[in-house]
Amino acid sequence: MTTTRKPRDRGTGSIFTRADGHVVAVFPIGTRGGKRLRRTYYAKDETDARAWLRERAKERKVRTAKEDRFTVGAQLTEWLDTVEVKPSTMRRYRQIVTHQLMPTLGSGALVELTTSDVRKAMHALHRGGLSPQSVAHCRAVLRTALELAVADRRIEVNPATGRHAAGPSVAEHETQYLGTADARRLLAAVPDAIPTHPRELPALNAADRLGALWAVALVTGARQGELLGLTWQDVDLDAATVTIRNSLQRDRAGRLTLGDPKTAKSKGRVLPLISEAVRAMQSHRARMIAERELAGSSWRGAKWDGHRIVSGDAWRGPKSAVDPAALVFVTTLGTPLNGPRVTDLWHEWAERHGLPRVRFHALRHSAATLHLAIGTDPRIVSDLLGHSTGRLLQRYQHVALDLRTEAMAKLGTLLGDDAATGG
């Protein structure tokens, strides 16, 4: 039988005797990922155990005295230097650290930071103009940075963890999407004329010129970066599919390059196209060929060589074809498109054609909503979007409820009083 000694003061450790007679000392050193971390010592006797605990307590006092001069800002900076994320995510982290966390918490001593400090800082950020969702992002960054401090034993617990460290509550926001009528209006407005000669190239403004992008985004639900990262070898118009292999993003130097999609499940997705999207892509390809011929030596021909985006190489294949390595959606000179510029053009195009002003990302939500509305198996919709099924149904509860209601109505028809009965 294990004998437990009288409890010591909180944080000073404990001593107990196991059933086999061994005396064990346990000293707390913090938490990691919600789990308590301890150091364990198998002592000769109780006197030895107490001496070991006293030494550990002295070590902690010495370390704490040194860490008193280590600030929250220093911890955030160290975390930024070690975290490995995509360049776009890193830019967001640095923005949060520099403009939100440093001014509110950065100068304070790390070991003195409390849950109350975190909560007050989050509410201060909200009063300063940040939305509850943005405040939640700030706390998530702080919480992750402080997990590193716990792992490095600079602090014992993470004060940014738990409901008491939270700022203003985040209200459930309604997902933006286009309904069936708006989706039809979008596809009908996309140009699909195919020029037979460069001189016959229809004059289109910048927003209309990207009509195929709007159509493919609507029917596939692919992310903006995934679409802007498509090369012509990813497009098979005979099979009416596009394959997601890359995503256009900026590297640490601010240069546009191709990287992996957002999640591992997203990479390699083969997305079917409906006939309206295929016609739009055929028109887009013909326009690109004509634009290349008209541009002559000015054509930059952005393409992916497997390592980086290169430009300036002339296409030496047939004039009626496109370079398989070339990006699909580019400027009139063949250079990569900038994401914010594409979003602005989408808003301009949508307004001109009487569509609701929704984010470009709403086209992704629209694809999911339309599929669920027609009864597509959620597992298939999840595969199309690169989501998990559970996350999908949670995100699109407005459709899931309609589907459950419809299913219950069918069950009522089957089992109700007016249902056909057998003998």
What per-residue confidence (pLDDT) applies to 214? Answer: 97
User: Of 64, 97, 113, which closes a domain?
Assistant: 64
Whole-number Å distance between alpha carbons of 177 and 182: 9
Q: Is residue 207 part of a domain?
A: yes
Three-state secondary-structure class, residue 335: coil
DSSP output for 236-260 = ETTTTEEEE--EEEE-TTS-EEEE-
Distances (CA, A) of 198 to 286, 393, 400: 9, 47, 48
Angle between helices 275-295 and 180-189 (to 10 degrees): 30
At which of 317, 342, 367 does a domain end? 367
Asked if the structure places residue 396 within a domain, the reply is no
Q: Are residue 134 and residue 204 in the same domain, yes or no? A: no
282 shares its domain with 356? yes
What is the per-residue pLDDT for 55?
Answer: 84
CA pair distance 56, 62, nearest whole angstrom: 10
Report the C-alpha gap between 123 and 377 in whole angstroms.
Answer: 42
**CATH assignment at residue 156:** 1.10.150.130
Q: Do 291 and 301 contact (CB within 8 A), yes or no? A: no
Q: Note the pLDDT of residue 377.
A: 82
**Nearest 10 degrees: Cα torsion 213, 219, 220, 222:** 50
Which domain CATH number covers 299?
1.10.443
Distance CA 243, CA 253 (A): 28
Residue 374 lies in a domain: no
pLDDT tens per residue across all 423 residues of the chain: 445 554 455 557 889 888 888 899 888 766 555 566 778 888 888 899 899 888 887 776 655 545 556 889 999 999 998 888 777 788 889 999 999 999 999 988 898 899 999 999 999 998 988 888 889 999 999 999 999 998 888 888 899 988 888 888 766 556 678 888 899 999 999 987 776 666 666 677 889 999 999 999 999 999 999 999 999 999 999 999 999 999 988 877 777 888 888 878 888 899 999 999 999 999 999 888 888 888 888 888 777 776 677 776 666 777 778 888 889 999 988 889 999 999 999 999 999 999 998 999 999 988 888 888 787 888 888 888 887 656 666 666 656 555 556 666 766 776 765 544 444
Q: Are residues 81 and 139 in the same domain?
A: yes
Spatial separation of the C-alpha atoms in residues 314 and 295, rounded to whole Å: 11
| C-beta neighbour count of 196 within 10 angstroms | 10
For the chain, the domain total comes to: 3
Domain assignment of residue 405, yes or no: no
Looking at residue 111, its pLDDT comes to 87
In a domain, residue 359? The reply is yes
Last residue of a domain, one of 109, 140, 165: 165
Specify if 234 maps to a domain. Answer: yes
Q: Are residues 82 and 227 both part of a single domain?
A: no
Per-residue tokens: 353 = 């054609």
| Locus of tokens 């009416």 | 240
Q: What angle do CA 212, 262, 267 make, to 5 degrees?
A: 75
Kindly calculate the radius of gyration of the chain based on its CA atoms and give it in whole angstroms. 30
Domain that holds residue 344: 180-367
Q: Are residues 120 and 12 in the same domain?
A: no
Query: Are residue 37 and residue 135 in the same domain, yes or no?
Result: no
If we measure between CA atoms, which residue out of 408, 391, 404 comes closest to residue 175? 391
**β-bridge mates for residue 30, sequence order:** 37
Check whether residue 268 and residue 347 sit in a common domain: yes
Indicate whether this model's pTM tops 0.85: no
| Contact assessment for residue 4 and residue 35, using Cβ atoms and an 8 Å cutoff | no
Predicted pLDDT of residue 264? 81
CA atoms within 13 A on the CB side of 255: 8
Q: In this structure, is residue 379 part of a structural domain?
A: no
